[in-house]
Amino acid sequence: MRIVSLTDVGKIRKVNQDNYIAVYSKAHDLLLLVCDGIGGSKAGDVASLEIVKYFAEEFPKREGFKDIQEAISYLKDEVRKASDHVYRLSKSEKRLEGMGTTITGLLISSVGNIVINAGDSRVYGFHDHQLWSLTSDHTLVNELMKRKLINEDEAKVHPKRHYLTRFLGVTEGAECDAYAVSHLSDIYLISSDGLHGYVPKEDMEMIIGDSSLSLETRASLLLKSALAKGGYDNITLILVEVGEKDE
């Protein structure tokens, strides 16, 4: 298994509110997370960093999982605890009040692979030259599309397209999606919306699918593509190439 991770502040923002982590447990299960501080809110960078720090401390203590359901329950519980930690911290200082973050990630474990998500960052799977999202955005426009009230083109220009319906740290008891991955993937991509919000899926497919390039080069090209599109947001991505024994 190979892992490449990159982050960039972009061309517009002064602060990078994205944070990420790749961390192993005692059982050598691998947890990969991307957290994107909520844009425009106070201390989004602090919120995303605190979530990453929480899992950097807690996940290495984990001995392992007896089955996939135990792993899912563990992730949901730990995300809630991490979010509550951020919420309590936000009440301790005025400058931190209202801070929040998204969380998106992938657990690669002996009992199976699990995706977690709260917000609009994404986990993608790549296989047979095709890239597809394994997560569903928690945004107002995505909810409207599910109800068939707007179409995809309308969603792209909707005035409230950046409104999140789920996130961490702003309230107590935050929830995340967590479910087993059933699709076969050779490569996983975890990204903040600074990448997939600006680079078309077809372009990402072409870059990730170019096996003549190293994984490091493909990650660099994805980042450069987002910057070439304007670099309007912070950009973070993790590419994970798995072998047959890792599936």
156 within some domain: no
pLDDT in tens, the chain (247 residues): 999 999 999 999 999 999 999 999 999 999 999 999 995 567 999 999 999 999 999 999 999 999 999 999 999 999 999 999 999 999 999 999 999 999 999 999 999 999 999 999 999 999 999 999 999 999 877 677 677 777 777 666 766 667 789 999 999 999 999 999 988 899 999 999 999 999 999 999 999 999 999 999 999 999 999 999 999 999 999 999 997 544 4
3-state secondary structure the chain: CEEEEEEECCCCCCCCCEEEEEEECCCCCEEEEEEEECCCCCCHHHHHHHHHHHHHHHHHHCCCCCCHHHHHHHHHHHHHHHHHHHHHHHCCCHHHCCCCECEEEEEEECCEEEEEEECCCEEEEEECCEEEECCCCCEHHHHHHHCCCCCHHHHHHCCCCCCECCCECCCCCCCCEEEECCCCCCEEEEECHHHHCCCCHHHHHHHHCCCCCCHHHHHHHHHHHHHHCCCCCCEEEEEEECCHHHC
Q: How far apart are CA 152 and CA 150, in angstroms?
A: 7
Model pLDDT, residue 144? 76
Model pLDDT, residue 204? 98
Task: Print the domain residue range for 36.
Answer: 2-139+166-246
158 within some domain: no
- Closest C-alpha to 127, from 223, 197, 208: 208
116 within some domain: yes
152 within some domain: no
151 within some domain: no
**Contact assessment for residue 97 and residue 44, using Cβ atoms and an 8 Å cutoff:** no
Q: How far apart are CA 115 and CA 61, in angstroms?
A: 20
Q: How many structural domains compose the chain? A: 1
18 within some domain: yes
29 within some domain: yes
52 within some domain: yes
Q: Residue 222 is part of a domain; what is its CATH number? A: 3.60.40.10
